[in-house]
Structure 1
Amino acid sequence: MSLKRLTINGLRGFSDETNIHFAIPDNLTPGSGLTVLVGPNNSGKSTIIEAVHLLISNNDIIPISSRNIKNAGKIKIEAEDLNGNIRTIESTNNNGAFVQKKYNNQDIDFWADNMNTFILSSKRNFSSTFHNNSYQNRDSYKGNISDLDYRSENNINNNFGGRLLTIYKNRNKFDSCLEKVIKPLPKWTIESSDSNNLYLEFSFDKIKHSSKGAGDGYINIFNIVDSLYDSVENNVILIDEPEISLHPDLQRKLFNLLVEYSKDKQIIVSTHSPYFVDWSLFSNKTKIIRLKKELDSIQLFELSETTKNGISKILDDYQKPHILSLNANEIFFLNDNVILTEGQDDVLCYKELFKRANYSATASFFGWGAGGATNMRYILNILKDLGYNNVFIILDNDQTQIIADLEKEYPNYHFFAIAADDVRNKKRDKKIDDIIKCIEKIEFNDDIKKDIFNIINSKFVNKVGLVKDMKDFEIKSEYKENFQLLIEELKRYFENNEKTTENKLENCINNNDNIFENELKAHKLLDEWLNKNKLFKYIENKYKNVEFKSGGGGPLSFKDIGKGKYYVILCESNSLSEQFSVTINFHFIIDVYKNKVKLKKKQIVSNTLPISKIRKIIEKIFN
């Protein structure tokens, strides 16, 4: 069943509650069920797949390295399917490593199924030998992961051999899927060693190789095709970095295969490859989600319907296919800092001029430009929707009149018009002069002719550029000062934004440090209070006539309630035997600014001690 929503709070970089909504297959349109997760390194893409893995894992422990320190180690992950069923794991009351599983808000000990998911982590190592009795069907396999740490470099998939045996029994079906990526099909079989261990064997030009000698690319494709070939409607497939060890042509073919299968299956991929980006799909039903780490939390960004419509208009301009070509795909993987120009001449020219001026831009150019000033808003909407904060736009002087409106629409972006009408000299199209000559031959009113010529000449002019041509790239003397001003504004804009970000990050780190310092201080104040007031002896002192055999206790909850205050619940329990015991919870308010600990109340949670009912009633009244 497709996932409608995934909520993450406290896992790795997700310090705030974050909801992710995936594409849902419509059973008609290729790509309708495909979600592509993009963004710079360490932006949280793999964490989303890891979160789904944790929701099918029967491991009850999440290590401290996976839990966000800002959340005091607390974690909650929740998934809702299309039928409204909700699967949850969240930290137990003591906020330690253990998590409680819940299904539709009811506590459970283990999952009844794996949500029909098939997960491929980016670590696709597998045991090179396997046994003949290790068949693995799709339901029991879950993917190339175990219940251990999802990201461990040492994870070895010992179950893929079982999948290979299943593949071998369904070879025709598997090969027909594999052939869509690799053609001609590689020759492969399952062989046996002298010790009767089985292994995967490939033949290349009559030379045989085991899986170790075949190359990581083949193993990667086998893993991914395995996730697809026996999938059925409403299966959920998650693949972390499908492009690993594949050259561009194989990446393209593999992406097309994923698009095909996502017609009736939900497929979620995390990628760093521009070959897994298709603007025409993103303007339709395929989802692209850009993740970005901002200060101490991860943010998600998606394209709006308005932006998608703009993308469609750009794609409909068959004369400018370069605008959203492979070069533009880089925009999905940058961290920030983008320079946007009107066209491809501008990109080529400014790169060379910056180089000659010894200016190393700390920003990346957007593809080959916007394809003209008329497309500027379409591209700016893309950048805005994808969460880019620092964008510098260079316009020609003849577009100065649109800057005021653009600055209102995109207040965080910086607009600069050069003093020249273009980046290089441009003569008007020769066809315009031919048209004028034809009009001159037509016999009609001279005044009307003159008006027509004036209109044509005003619309179609020779443009004087910043440089004469793009061979010598020599800046004209009258524009040198203006070009120097451009470089100074570029430096100022990006450097100021960088300093602002650094200051925000430093403040954030300091705030987090203060949080940890306050929490440590709260623990210390509580320990001092407990030792001074001998709370660990409270039950023994209360029931002096009872000889307890064992006892113990500890924190149930340690909650930051703001302004340097913490609400803490401690539990103390003593027992005579398994049958007879008493448990009391103590509620505290700790104020680290005033160095105060206040016991708010004592609560008898259970009492099965063999004492009189009257005494128990009195205890309840006074507690």
Structure 2
Amino acid sequence: MKYKIVEFNITNYRSISILKVTPGSNNFMTICGSNNVGKTNFLRALRLFFNPEVENFDAESDIPYHISEGSRGQGYAITLKGRIRELESGQEYIITQSFTEKLGVKEISLKGKKGTENLTEKEIRTFLQKNFKFFLVEASNVNIPKLVSEIVNEEILPLGLDQRRGRDQKDSLEKLNEFISQSKIAVEKIELQLTKIFKGLLQNVDSIDSNDWKLKIKFPEYLYLREAISNMIEFTLFDTNERKLETKGSGIQRTILLSLIQYVNSKTRKDVIWAIDEPEAFLQAGLQKSLYSNLLEQSEKNQIIITTHSHFFINVDDLSNTFLFEGTKELKEYSRKAGFLFYKLNTNIFVGSAFEKAQKIKENFGIGRNDSWEIMPFNILVEGQEDKDLLISLMKAFQIPIPNILIAGGVNKYPGYLQFVNDYCSELEYKPKVLALFDKDPAGRSEYNSLRSKTYRNIEVKCEYIIRYDGGTHNDIELEDFIYPELLFKAVGKLLRKEKFNQIKAADRRKRTFPAYDRKPVLDFITEMCRANNEDKAEINFNNLGMKLFLSKTVCNEIDKTDLKELNTLYPNVKVFLKQIATTFG
């Protein structure tokens, strides 16, 4: 390891307005925090910094919502600034990058210094490309094509296949056959080394026999031109049935990822920076412990930055290189589109003593209790914390026994989370049951259709859509449509009074049952009615994530202090549905 990031600054990137991170003395950095506070965005900003190309900058996603939607054509900019130290000499490089888009044209400018010496853009790009490899492994992606591509491109393609263009395809295929013959010798060596590393990682895991597995790289049956090879080569975990990698459990795939990390680290001459989003995703406890230990060992040679929700990856005794990200909400008004309000989400780092940080982490993420990972005989799986809070509040109010409620962190994570639960339960003497609860919006319907007929070896899964408070089951029903309208409108009223807006009139609320509005999602309806009653004020978009979180918290507070007997008489389907999902397997 020749270089180290000693400071990284972000301005106006996704949920991050201003953020400065100064890594500690060791090379293993941990970022923790609740969902939607910007942990993954920090890793993505680092990826953009080490790959400052136009195609890697997506203004629609990367520019913060309050700027991209608020400024409406004024132009905007992301600034990333890194301080990188050469370890042997102590010489420091300070590189500042600016990413902008004006009238649809993307621009990137680079400025930098080596000590007091100014660097040109070409020198900056050469410095980053020549000395660093940056890999981002996101939590929802257990596939590893990028790492395989790196191995293929650097160790196989240079063996004899040239880069000629415009030649006859037959001539190219003859060269390709020669290339494959030479490559198979190199592949066998790669397979042996990777299998040795992989088996070593599994030796201390009681539930897995390392002798049952080996890694294998297979060439495609049909051969095309050179530029397609790295995408065609198939990486397979070989068992007695020789099934493909994607048929294996997510935990095994994550362990293969660690094998590739070790392999790439041992082969490259560049400094490799690994950014791993939730490395614990879908791993059983034994593999989480093993992975953490091995990542620490690998960090002796390379910088490793992870985000996590698992206590296995947080050393509470030494939090010097652990950063607790927090999110704050700020009500903002569009600057270009008159009459539109939304909540701006900001990412911040908790500041306090080591003791205060430890207490905050334990309080927020359950370190010590670890209750988020416990699997009970019956469980309900929901998207986020607000879903869990609402179900608990309602079940408490109706004295319905509260089941174990698991949080996946988004409906797109249901498949991976269920696979994790399945792997986790492999040694249990009983077969836990999981009810997966879905919104009936497009994303929810897609995942529902994908999972409703899927079976698992170690768990029993059923899928269920949320209903509307009046029993409606049509499309586009979301969690907010399940809430008693009186409580939801009361929460909306509190916000409107706070912002000195006119309330939604009773006559307008009754329009909810009109044919024109009956099947409209309730937050769309509320946004429209609020606009109609406040034409002289900025519009509030109640579908904004910050608004949803505010309404959820306010509604839960109202449920806790409200006698629901009258509401239950008006809308009996809410209680019936709660009893139904609580006894689905009963």
Q: Give the shorter-chain TM-score range.
A: 0.3 to 0.5
Larger-gyration structure (1/2): 1
Q: TM-score, normalised by structure 2?
A: 0.45
Q: TM-score, normalised by structure 1?
A: 0.42
